[in-house]
Amino acid sequence: MNLLGNLLIAPPAVKGNFWHKTVIMITEQSPQGTLGIVLNKQSQLSIRNFGEQLGIDLDLPGMMYVGGPVSSQSLTLLHSPEWLSKNTLRINKHFSLSSADDILPRLAAGDEPEHWRLFLGMCGWGPGQLQGELAGTHPWKIENSWCISSADLDLTFESDGSDQWCSALDKSANEFAQRLLT
């Protein structure tokens, strides 16, 4: 199943851990595993304060996001595809992911994509792991299986937190119902 550029949404049964009410975009998928970033977990660190810690004047509004528990110091920029850095991965026709040392200086200079969000960390699944989680095969439980939906710019960049989770869950249910009708 090709999940690249789609969303994984934690079902309501997932409670009491990092994954509670998460919305994850799948950014890479290969036989070696799957990578993604959590879209809706703001960190306590503003973009401005993050820049100060690095000695870069980032006079930009907004917060940094926790992309996941893996490589928590790695910086990535999820953005609309009209913008490129020297290390940009095109996810699909709507989204790209960049992780290069020129990102922060360019943002500081006002060179920014139309839509974007900055993340520290990512999510990762080994070979077959995500498929097992989706199917609910042992050791995973079917009631904790991820919901899936397509992603769009509004859902990805214009909402946040629990609102983003609720909207993504609604979209997943609507798309599931549409598949049943066709």
Residue 93's domain is classified under what CATH number? 3.40.1740.10
The residue among 46, 61, 66 whose CA lies nearest residue 120 is 66
* The dihedral sign for the CA sequence 23, 29, 33, 35: negative
| Strand pairing class (33-38; 116-125) | antiparallel
* Domain around 71: 7-181
- The 10 Å Cβ neighbour count of residue 70 is 14
Residue 69 lies in a domain: yes
Residue 107 lies in a domain: yes
Q: What is the mean pLDDT of each run of 10 residues along the chain (182 residues)?
A: 94 93 97 97 95 92 95 95 95 95 93 97 96 91 92 94 94 90 81
Residue 64 lies in a domain: yes
Residue 23 lies in a domain: yes
Residue 1 lies in a domain: no
Residue 2 lies in a domain: no
Collect all residues with Cβ–Cβ distance below 8 Å to 140 and sequence separation of at least 6: 132, 133
Residue 93 lies in a domain: yes
Residue 81 lies in a domain: yes
Give the count of domains, the chain: 1
pLDDT reported for residue 141 = 87
Look up the pTM and report it.
0.94
Residue where the block lists tokens 């973009």: 47
What whole-number distance in Å separates Cα of residue 93 and Cα of residue 146?
A: 24
